[in-house]
Copies of this chain bind each other. A is one copy, B any other.
Amino acid sequence: MSNLETILAKANDSQPAALKRLFELLRIESVSTDSAYAVECVNAADWLVAQLNDIGFTASRRDTDGHPMVVAHSGGDGRHMLFYGHYDVQPVDPLDLWDRPPFDPVIEDTPKGKVIRARGASDDKGQLMTFVEACRAWKDVTGELPGNISILFEGEEESSSPSLVPFLTEHADELKADFALVCDTGLWDSDTPAITTMLRGLVAEDFTIHAANRDLHSGKYGGPAINPIRVLTKILGGLHDDQGRVTLPDFYEGVPRISNSLKAKWDALNFDTEGFLGDVGLTTPAGEDGYTAMEQIWCRPTCDINGINGGYTGEGFKTVLPADAHAKVSFRLVGTQDPDAISEAFRKYIRDNLPPDCEVTFRAKDGAAATNLPTEAPEFALAHKALSDEWPNEAMFIGMGGSIPIVGHFQEILGMDSVLIGFGQENDQIHSPNEKYDVRSFEKGTRSWIRVLHALQS
């Protein structure tokens, strides 16, 4: 039996103990958004420090202005890898929609197999423990940790990570590695592992159109007085053409063409558009003409109105012409689309379309370019092969409609790319009541990391 096979076998044998350890972590109520749980976040960090020290890392809790970080180093040689996960979890409300106490984990039998039911089972405690358990099995068999590994666990991922950038900046020398391993994503499907390599960027704009100096009565002023809601709807209504394309000049600058070979590969994935939309009560892809739903999510930019309000919106009716109207608009970016240029084009479009007597104020915007990870780098090929060896189907490089901020921070602050591997499922109900993680995800996830770490030693 090769070394790898021995370690994999060890991981299998250790499953009962591994689940017991995971349950200990799941019982810690480390909700990061609610300061009432601050001590629980410290407890989770301390528990992780103890685990990591126990298997040979040099680990410590690093306090911040918010919840603490956990940092650990294996002290080994070779390619330096920084593993990232987060120990904090989403709040549990509405509690009455949970079928059992969210911090009392249990293994449940379901028609689709055994699941671990608890808040954080999937996001992200179960996921990060696949890596810790892989290291433990490795250490148990070989007496050493797998190479030159550092670990960063944060406790504020579910509450906008206020301490993250300062911490990365302050400890850049300590944390900078050759590349990062991030375990906070999902499988393609239950038999197909995935490495997420395309993440859309974001421009978020928040603005108000102002007209009269006070709310007016539409009987008295309706007609001659400009109505800012009408101005707003006209402007927003003009952001897309009849083909669903964004009308801002040069908006599509930097959007890559999808090559025929890539398109063929993606088509072969047989993305279940009907199921994806049907799950939320929809039937018809509403994005740009000429693109599949999957293409629309992975590699086409969007413009969406995320919030709008103005005038009287309560019960009944009030014939008011309001003084102002407000909207929040966001753009999802792909390829090399420039967030600043798009923000500028958007603001110019609004200003150019304002009628007399109207003004616009913009609040601070938020922007990030899309992330395109370098799949041609050797780490990606090695991880791809390792995952494909573990799972029934070959691993996929996939895209994701949203962004994962840590990837951008690692690029910008530490100058390193990330390999995003995770074992979550669409139906894990993260952020919702009755969160779960498949036992199979936990088992094969641990085995996957053993294979990936083994491959990366080469």
Contact = CB atoms under 8 A, between A and B. Distances in A.
B236 A230 contact: yes
Q: How many copies does the complex hold?
A: 2
A280 B212 contact: yes
Given A307-B310, A311-B308, A332-B223, A281 B218 contact: no
Given A217-B402, A277-B225, A280-B214, A308 B306 contact: no
A320 interface: yes
B219 A402 contact: yes
Interface stretch (A107-115, A282-290, A390-398): A282-290
Contacts of A217: 402
Interface stretch (A95-103, A168-176, A323-331): A323-331
A56 B48 CA distance: 93
Given A219-B400, A234-B237, A227 B304 contact: yes
A308 B325 contact: yes
Contacts of A296: 223-224
A243 interface: no
A92 interface: no
A379 interface: no
Interface stretch (A19-27, A123-131, A199-207, A407-415): A199-207
A306 B311 CA distance: 5
B240 A230 contact: yes
A203 to B, nearest CB: 11
Contacts of A213: 280-281
A236 B363 CA distance: 25
Contacts of A402: 217-220, 319
B297 A229 contact: no
Given A212-B280, A233-B233, A224 B308 contact: no
A287 B224 contact: yes
B233 A300 contact: no
B224 A293 contact: yes
Given A277-B224, A280-B216, A321-B306, A286 B233 contact: no
Interface string A254-282: 00000000000000000001001100111
A318 interface: yes
B302 A317 contact: no
Contacts of A304: 218, 222, 227, 230, 319, 321
Nearest to A227: B304
A451 to B, nearest CB: 28
B211 A282 contact: yes
A281 B228 CA distance: 13
A366 interface: yes
Interface string A221-256: 111111101101111111110000000000000000
B230 A233 contact: no
Given A280-B225, A305-B230, A306-B320, A297 B220 contact: yes
Contacts of A328: 311-313, 317-318
Contacts of A297: 220-224
Interface in A315-346: 317-322, 325-326, 328, 330, 332
B332 A219 contact: yes
Contacts of A212: 280-282
Q: Name, among A223, A304, A321, the residue most crowded by chain B CB atoms within 10 Å (CB to CB).
A: A223
8 contacts: A200-B222, A202-B319, A223-B285, A223-B291, A224-B297, A226-B286, A227-B286, A236-B237
Given A284-B357, A308-B311, 10 more contacts: A202-B319, A212-B281, A213-B281, A218-B332, A223-B287, A224-B297, A233-B233, A307-B310, A308-B309, A317-B328
